[in-house]
Amino acid sequence: MPIALAASSDISRIFIELGAAIVGLAVLARLASRWGFSAIPLYLLAGLAFGNGGLLPLNVSQEFVHIGAEIGVVLLLFMLGLEYTGEELGMSLRTGLPSGLADFALNFLPGLLAGFLLGWGTLAAVLLGGVTWISSSGVIAKVLGELGRMNNPETPAILSVLVLEDLAMALYLPLVSVLLVGRGWREGIISILIALATVGAVLFVALRFDKAISRAVSHQSDEIILLSTFGLVLLVAGVAQKLQVSAAVGAFLVGIALTGAIVERAHRMLAPLRDLFAATFFFFFGLEIDPSSLPKVLPLAAVLGAVTALTKLLTGWLAAHRAGIEGPARWRAGAALVARGEFSIVIAGLGVSAGLEPRLGPLSAAYVLLLAVLGPILARFVAPERKSLVTESA
């Protein structure tokens, strides 16, 4: 009986703390809506305030919140995939490869050079290059949705850069992981081949059997569609992650595979879940950062952030230019790509776990936090659309 009472007390405490956190996020979302900007920076700062070392640390179950955060990223990328057909994705990838190479050169090299200038070893510098290279698909998908830009002319160019980055992670992460544990190039190449085969298989199924998948998921009952779609997204994301491919890539390809009337219904039913778990993701991201570790590395993170914010602006401008997009939309594409997030933290975490370089973790955390806050702000105010301003004033 005492054990049961203790368990009940633990559950009630977790419910109370999680409920208070979610209500707090709702208040922040209301404030952001009233002030007319993205709620993402407020979610991140809230996590920073209530995490370990923050103003008022919460004792919520980290594992539970972490799972919710991962589901948030998966749903963000799935909903982004719903906006595009397989043909559009194929064309975007074919035409976007030069932009992807420019993205790598412009954004990987600043981190790599910064690592060498700090006197770090080659592997630590390569990891910092990865941190500065990869934009946050989760943050960007959320911002595009909030600003109503999913169907904008520059969005396919943004998407092609993000997809190429996520696919590049299927090569980068397995190789770096193998090198960190001291294994040879042979094991790294095998891991890369497995990842490539997984991505190719999922992409082939998504493009070849999209109509059959849509028919299998479709039903008159909203409940059945919700369970089928949500279950399929989690299943494919889990298998992709197990085979050393990003779960986000798997979820994105599921979104690509759905076509026809099912797209609108899936969007309508899963959007509330996406918003809930996405807010959890950004809050959890802030919880993971210890504020006391930030002051010493903040000046360096600010310089690195300023440089790579400019290089991402140039990346988006070039991608939109290659896609034949004119005018301010080119700068909107660049501003949308500035935010860094989940992949950057994963990359830095690999180095921290291996004990590679003690400054890598705090520097990456400060850098990502700055750009995760700056990115949504730039996306909103760099070359804003007239129609969105009219809508907001109304």
List CB contacts of 30: < 8 A, sequence separation 6 or more. none
9 or 29, greater pLDDT: 29
Lowest mean pLDDT of 66-75, 183-192, 233-242, name the range: 183-192
**207-260: per-residue pLDDT in tens?**
777 788 888 888 888 899 899 999 999 998 888 778 766 677 778 778 878 887
Note whether 267 and 79 are within 8 A (CB).
Answer: yes
Task: Let me know the angle formed at the C-alpha of 189 by 187 and 190, rounded to the nearest 5 degrees.
Answer: 65
**20-60: per-residue pLDDT in tens?**
888 989 999 898 878 766 677 788 788 878 776 666 676 66
Tokens of 282: 């950004």
Q: Which domains does the chain have, with CATH numbers?
A: 63-393 (1.20.1530.20)
**For the chain, what is the mean pLDDT?**
81
Note whether 240 and 250 are within 8 A (CB).
Answer: yes
Predicted pLDDT at 115: 95
Residue 144: Cβ within 10 Å count: 22
Q: Band of the pLDDT at 392, cuts 50, 70, 90? A: very low
Rounded CA gap, 171 and 5, in Å?
A: 49
Rounded CA gap, 179 and 257, in Å?
A: 35
Lowest mean pLDDT of 40-44, 85-89, 285-289, name the range: 85-89
Question: Could you tell me how many helices (H) and strands (E) the chain has, helices first?
Answer: 17, 0
Predicted pLDDT at 339: 92
Q: Band of the pLDDT at 330, cuts 50, 70, 90? A: very high
Q: What is the mean pLDDT of residues 269-278?
A: 86
pLDDT at 389 over 50: no
Predicted pLDDT at 386: 62
Question: Which CA distances in Å does 293 have to 60, 116, 121, 275, 290?
Answer: 22, 22, 22, 30, 6
Predicted pLDDT at 301: 95
Residue matched to tokens 């890598």: 360
